[in-house]
Amino acid sequence: MARILITSAIPYINGIKHLGNLVGSQLPADLFARYNRARGHEVLFLCATDEHGTPAELAAAKTGEPVDEYCARMWGVQKELSDGFGLSFDKFGRSSSPQNHALTQHFAGKLAEAGLIEEVTESQVYSNADGRFLPDRYIEGTCPNCGYDRARGDQCENCTKQLDPTDLIEPRSAISGSTELEVRETKHLYLKQRSLRKELSDWIDTKTDWPILTTSIARKWLNDGDGLQDRGITRDLDWGIPVKKGDQDWPGMEGKVFYVWFDAPIEYIACAKEWSDERGAPDAEWERWWRTDKGADDVRYVQFMGKDNVPFHTLSFPATIIGSGEPWKLVDYIKSFNYLNYDGGQFSTSQGRGVFMDQALEILPADYWRWWLLSHAPESSDSEFTWENFQSSVNKDLADVLGNFVSRVTKFCRSKFGEGVPAGGAWGAEEEALIARLTEGLAAYERHMEAIEVRKAAAELRALWVAGNEYLQSAAPWAAYKEDPERAAAVVRLALNLIRVYAVLSAPFIPDAAARMLSSMNTLDTEWPGDMRAALEALPAGHAFTVPDVLFRKISDEERADWETRFAGTR
């Protein structure tokens, strides 16, 4: 049994996330967590809300709430939605937690002791219209590298180049749009990332199994002359983690907070302590996942994120961990994703364009969305959501293939043999061929799941469903029953057992439907089918079952047209 630590990118607190956000980190992370639990491995799956910084302050101001109350409320909203999508976090924490305060201040102290923190008097952009210093991400302008006209002051989302606000052409406040900006002096702390270039490069060199997308972005940032820079880790803000060296005050840093990019990744570690503390467990419980001197050396740590987060998780967060000089667990594998676009454009909150998590659950159950998003995950390139494709995938894959198989088998058995697994008959050549096909397909499915090749795993799972349908069509128990009821019984007995197998294999993708399938088969047996022959005999003759309600309903053309209009937004 392996021990696997899984984290997904931490969603920001200000607002409800769209489907692209979901498939870019949390959903595939949940798929991997569910799969590994099903295989008997020990899994700790962590996520949290990222709550500090200017966006939270501004969002709270719009609602008239104190920022801490706003964040607490929105944590509840995001937690409810993650539950609605079946995201099986062991802990969904908060970057504003006391545990993250303490750990962030601890890391800052250790980095200072190592000589990796420098006090810098810098020129920072101040907005006269807004009456405040502007964080880098709240300054917009044209990227000097690619010409994108909505680049942020910390990074261009279009070309991913790391920027400083003064690099931008025609900068403006992202808060008010004002160009009345001036540069004022202020003192901040910088993490001396460039001092760790060799350590980071040597570490990345060991990651020969990383996806090309992850490695190429990391190497670009590391080797680009302007890529790996010393970075400010403090800001002039009210909301955040106060700047301290451990539990000691930091002279000259009064009234400042740590920059959100510094404290947010540390929440991955703090989240484990939140999980442990809630259970009343000793520190050894969470430390065995995160400290290599406490047992984490045998943990496989896997992160899931969108490609825009890769630089911070391949360079900046590892720099924090390596620079501390303490035995913290570094990530073993980073699964990064491209972008999911929406119907010829981008998702847009301001324009009401695209489907957001709350809206999705209002119109269809989570499994419909989980299946489409995972089977179309943007792994090798950006992918695009269209309603036509969504309708086709749901109707063909879920309704016509899986749902139809379950319905035909259970209804036919009830009508001819009653609501119990029928006895009699023996397997023949068709059954042996099916077992061989299922065994081969299962091995491919497992390979893709373990390699975190999401789309390929979905394709193999669908092929397993298809194999059952093709067997049922060929064996035709409804025809065999007329002349050889025992032959029909043997076919149906195998098919009913195959429903249980499908439930177990499908649970990482469509957990709610899988649970309904198991309930219909009147079993709690979720053992992974290591031996396909044995798995197809798990439910013995006489075992009771029920005919489930429709597993997946089809999406009509009228519904599709209505949703296309409803979520088109303003263009």
List pLDDT tens digits, range 166-199.
Answer: 899 999 998 889 999 998 888 999 999 999 999 9
List pLDDT tens digits, range 104-129.
Answer: 999 999 999 999 999 999 888 899 99
User: How confident is the model at residue 30, as a pLDDT?
Assistant: 98
User: How confident is the model at residue 571, as a pLDDT?
Assistant: 45
User: How confident is the model at residue 166, as a pLDDT?
Assistant: 84
User: What mean pLDDT is reported for the chain?
Assistant: 95
Across residues 457-483, what is the average pLDDT? 97
| CA atoms of 87 and 31, how far apart (whole Å) | 9
Checking if the pLDDT of 161 tops 90, the result is no
List pLDDT tens digits, range 523-563.
Answer: 999 999 999 999 999 999 999 999 999 999 999 999 999 99
| CA atoms of 249 and 396, how far apart (whole Å) | 62
Across residues 469-482, what is the average pLDDT? 96
CB atoms within 10 A of CB 273: 25
User: How confident is the model at residue 386, as a pLDDT?
Assistant: 97
Listed residue (286, 281, 232) closest to 258, CA to CA: 232
List pLDDT tens digits, range 278-333.
Answer: 999 999 999 999 999 999 999 999 999 999 999 999 999 999 999 999 999 999 99
| CA atoms of 538 and 427, how far apart (whole Å) | 15
Q: Tell the CATH topology of 3-104+259-363.
A: Rossmann fold (3.40.50)
Buried b (16+ CB within 10 A) or exposed e, 146-170: eebeebbbbbbeeebbbbbbebbee
| Residue pair 352/14 in contact by the 8 Å Cβ criterion | no
Binding residues for ATP: 349
Binding residues: 143, 146, 156, 159, 349
φ/ψ (deg, to 5) at 44: -125, 115
| CA atoms of 276 and 298, how far apart (whole Å) | 19
| CA atoms of 385 and 391, how far apart (whole Å) | 11
- In sequence order, the 6+-apart residues with CB closer than 8 A to the CB of 264 are 10, 50, 52, 95
3-state secondary structure of 465: helix
List pLDDT tens digits, range 452-462.
Answer: 999 999 999 99
- How far CA 415 is from CA of 2, 58, 563, in Å, comes to 45, 62, 38
| Residue pair 124/133 in contact by the 8 Å Cβ criterion | yes
**pLDDT confidence tier of residue 226, bands split at 50, 70 and 90:** low
pTM: 0.92
Would strands 151-152 and 139-142 be described as parallel, antiparallel, or unpaired? antiparallel
List pLDDT tens digits, range 148-160.
Answer: 999 999 889 888 8
User: How confident is the model at residue 113, as a pLDDT?
Assistant: 97
**pLDDT confidence tier of residue 371, bands split at 50, 70 and 90:** very high
List pLDDT tens digits, range 248-257.
Answer: 999 999 999 9
**pLDDT confidence tier of residue 225, bands split at 50, 70 and 90:** low
User: How confident is the model at residue 163, as a pLDDT?
Assistant: 87
| CA atoms of 53 and 94, how far apart (whole Å) | 14
Across residues 470-493, what is the average pLDDT? 97
Checking if the pLDDT of 384 tops 80, the result is yes
Q: What percent of the chain clears pLDDT 90, i.e. is strictly above it?
A: 86
| CA atoms of 58 and 45, how far apart (whole Å) | 31
Backbone torsion region of residue 493, taken as left when φ is above 0, otherwise alpha when ψ lies between -120 and 50, otherwise beta: alpha
Q: Under CATH, to which class is 387-535 assigned?
A: mainly alpha
- In sequence order, the 6+-apart residues with CB closer than 8 A to the CB of 467 are 434, 437, 438, 441
**pLDDT confidence tier of residue 133, bands split at 50, 70 and 90:** confident
- In sequence order, the 6+-apart residues with CB closer than 8 A to the CB of 506 are 402, 461, 513, 514, 517
Parse the chain into domains and list their residue ranges.
3-104+259-363, 387-535
Listed residue (494, 508, 426) closest to 461, CA to CA: 508
List pLDDT tens digits, range 34-88.
Answer: 999 999 999 999 999 999 988 898 899 889 999 999 999 999 999 999 999 999 9
Binding residues for Zn(2+): 143, 146, 156, 159
